[in-house]
Chains A and B, each alone.
Chain A
Amino acid sequence: MKLIHYRDNCIGCNSCVQHAPHYWAISPIDGKADLLGSIQKKDVFILKVDESEKEIHSRVVRDCPMRIIKLSQ
């Protein structure tokens, strides 16, 4: 299972950090969220995550106001 972050459009609302602080942090450089430990492919950040934490990641996806976080198999 993968978390996908289209970071460019992040508005730094901090919602993902609140839900899953082990996975997300606000960058001190540009105030946008960083998906910790992710791999960058062009403008997209990808992180393999475990199925066992699907619920937490789903909440992050649901509450992102910009709809720029996706969870895929």
Chain B
Amino acid sequence: MKQKNVEVLAPAGSFESLQAAIQGGADAVYFGIEQLNMRSRSANFKLKDLPEIMKRCRKHDIKGYLTLNTIMYDHDLPLIQEICDAALKNKVDAVIASDIAAIQLARGVGLSVHCSTQLNISNIEAVRFFAQYADVIVLARELTLQQIHFICAGIEKEKIKGPAGKSVEIEVFCHGALCVAISGKCYMSLATYNASANRGACLQNCRRSYRVIDEETGDELVLDNNYVMSPKDLCTIGMIDKLINAGVGVLKIEGRGKSAEYVLATTKAYCEAVESVDDGTYTPAKIEEWKTQLKTVFNRGFWENGYYLGKSLGEWSNAYGSQATQEKVIVGTVRNYYPQKKVAEIFLQAGNVKTEDMMLIIGPTTGVVKCQATKMIVHKGIKDKVITLPVPAKVRKNDQVYVVKERHETNPLPR
């Protein structure tokens, strides 16, 4: 199959992450507005933020997709309509939906629709059905490369087109969290805490360690790993060429609930990987370097290639939470930025900085700026602890300042 331009789609759960996705080179971003999306527990954007989000997307020539992909109830219908109307007005490029109500209402106002992975679309016939409504289909996360290839070849052969008149595009997840349920359709958090994963409120209790006890005898089975329901994270950086050759048009990075530096690191790595596949410089050495970079940000350990190269379910996480090799510790905030000298003045109200430290400055307009503290000047004699240091890009007042530290321990269990 001939190669085509592949889109790297990055998560934007906040303005910081949106900016980080842009810095990382994303071709498109996806974001949630209000509560009707699969990360309703995370800090979401509000309807009033939509003009600013799309303004930034337009400025950087990237596409913006709005997630509207929870299960919907009758009382949600007015809000779906309001969100769709606002999406149309602000020229959102597409709505990512799973509930037929959201698909119907979005199409009703003339919006382009992408079918969410929540629909578990797993075969060409389902693609044909949903292509009546959607221009992009996000496949179930559990398909193999062969199955994906079969579907993509089928679309080309049978000329299956979306409402926009173009061949329907196939999107798959390339990086980020997987869960024990098929494509996120899970009842566990609802059954235990009344917090429905399908309303975006998953409490992730599957991520904890569990013991298996025989109720009759009280005997406990000895497991080599008690994290029996927490898969490691998907990482396909070493098989991007295969996904592209299978005919995939969009590579999605999971993580609207994750930090801006996660978005920057993952987006950058996958954009570089797609580019190098394109120009024939996709080498094992580069793959190793990208993996090292990906390990520095949130991960539960990597299940490389996920389900794509086979169905074996062997890769379970062995700790709660992140196994990132680095972590960030807050030290202060930016107090001023001097554009001519490209110097930031930082108020250290929460910690100290040493000259060898690597620092992160994160803000809603700044995104993520990395810098070394080597040339910092400590201002003595002032009541507050203030430093100034040269920074490679513009930062802004009230941006948060962090020191990056090597991380050796796994997280303690949650209470």
**Chain A interface residues (CB < 8 Å from chain B):** 10-15, 26, 28-32, 63-66
Contacts and interface: CB of A to CB of B under 8 A. Distances in A.
Nearest to A66: B201
B197 to A, nearest CB: 10
Contacts of B79: 12, 30-31
A14 B75 CA distance: 9
B193 A12 contact: no
Contact of B34 (A30, A63, A64): A30
A52 to B, nearest CB: 24
A66 B193 CA distance: 10
B117 interface: no
A64 B196 CA distance: 11
User: Which secondary structure characterizes the binding site on chain A?
Assistant: loop
A31 to B, nearest CB: 4
A57 B22 CA distance: 46
Interface residues on B, range: 20 to 34
22 contacts: A10-B35, A11-B40, A11-B41, A11-B200, A11-B201, A12-B36, A12-B75, A12-B76, A13-B201, A14-B73, A15-B194, A26-B75, A28-B75, A30-B34, A31-B75, A31-B78, A32-B35, A64-B194, A65-B195, A65-B199, A66-B195, A66-B201
A12 B194 contact: no
Contacts of A29: 78
Interface string B16-59: 00000000000000000011100011000000000000000000
Contact of B196 (A10, A13, A31): A13
Contacts of A11: 35, 40-41, 199-201
B195 A31 contact: no
Contacts of A31: 34-36, 75-76, 78-79
Given A11-B199, A14-B75, A63 B35 contact: no
Nearest to B77: A31
A46 B245 CA distance: 58
A65 B204 CA distance: 12
Nearest to A17: B75
A9 to B, nearest CB: 8
B232 to A, nearest CB: 27
Nearest to A33: B75
Contacts of B82: 30
Contacts of A32: 35
Contacts of B201: 11, 13, 65-66
B193 A65 contact: yes
A38 to B, nearest CB: 19
A30 B75 CA distance: 9
Interface string B196-211: 1001110100000000
Given A12-B73, A29-B78, 7 more contacts: A13-B199, A15-B194, A28-B75, A31-B36, A31-B79, A65-B201, A66-B195
Nearest to A15: B194
Contacts of A14: 73, 75
Contacts of A64: 194
Contacts of B36: 12, 31
